[in-house]
Amino acid sequence: MATLQDFKTEEKSWWCPGCGDFGVLAAMQKALVAVGAEPRTTAIVAGIGCSGKLGNYINSYNIHVTHGRTLPAALGLKLANRDLLVLAAGGDGDAYAIGMGHFMHALRRNVNVTYIVMDNHVYGLTKGQTSPTSESGFKTKTTPKGSIDRPVHPLMLAVSAGATFVAQGFSSWQPQLARLIQQGIQHPGFALINVISPCVTYNKVNTYDWYKKTLLNLDDDPSYNPHSRPEALARLDATDELVTGLIYQEESEPYETQIAGFRDTPLVAQDWHVDNATWNQILKSFE
């Protein structure tokens, strides 16, 4: 059985000291050990941004894709090789800006992929511009008088769009975050874990101390029912999504198990050799 050390690499991190992504990385590695994963059967697909380097620090298969294209690659990988445990990782810009179209369709398709989004409310890699989740009035170098855009609310979007598993963690609260990622991996279908991951360099508003004073832990509320979609939406609206814990989960059947021939030989194991005569016939059909 793989250990925590088996999922570590020797590559030195390029993140700023104190970056919340360190906590996300540690929680992901702990979750992989908890579910009994192995490096040779695990794949990380990461996008652009500070979080995009995360796959380099986890000993597994790793694909670093272009901006906003994390989910198409991750879903295709899972459909082609269903024996792989596939984790997708991105930031709030990668996920909720250029990747928003893919995000919404991934929710409704429900392929068995776990999507971990590191949300710091700012574009850290490009030196501190507003991101889709930045609050109105947020001041940056490009919005010196404060942003006039309304923020995206990814958790409410996910729940209302038909997601079957939605959770939010905080990079400083390791036990809960690792547990949420573990639950997402074990969920049969698409799982979103949005992670509050503070940027210590460019976001001086949404800090560690601010979140520790502000966040409400739903896992500690016995009256909350994470299996009720209306209740989840109401709580997210009432708290402006400033919560942690399991937000919503329902019974689901993954997309890939509903495809005819699912139990047959997977794509990755099929013989894709095409002889010259067949190939020429295919080309001729496009003339």
pLDDT at 262: 65
Taking only the tens place, the pLDDT of each residue in 22-72 is 999 999 999 999 999 999 999 999 988 888 889 999 999 999 998 889 999
Domains contained in the chain, number: 1
| Domain annotation covers residue 1 | no
Report the CATH number that the domain containing residue 219 is assigned in CATH: 3.40.50.970
| Domain annotation covers residue 8 | no
Q: Taking the model in full, what pTM does it have?
A: 0.91
| Domain annotation covers residue 10 | no
Taking only the tens place, the pLDDT of each residue in 144-167 is 998 999 999 999 999 999 999 999
| Domain annotation covers residue 200 | yes
Token output for 64: 């670093």
On the question of pLDDT at 263 being above 70, the answer is no
| Domain annotation covers residue 11 | no
Q: pLDDT band for 179, please (50, 70, 90 cuts).
A: very high
| Domain annotation covers residue 5 | no
Q: How many CB atoms lie within 10 A of CB 205?
A: 13
Domain ranges, residue 79: 16-284
Lowest mean pLDDT among 138-142, 149-153, 271-275: 271-275
| Domain annotation covers residue 275 | yes
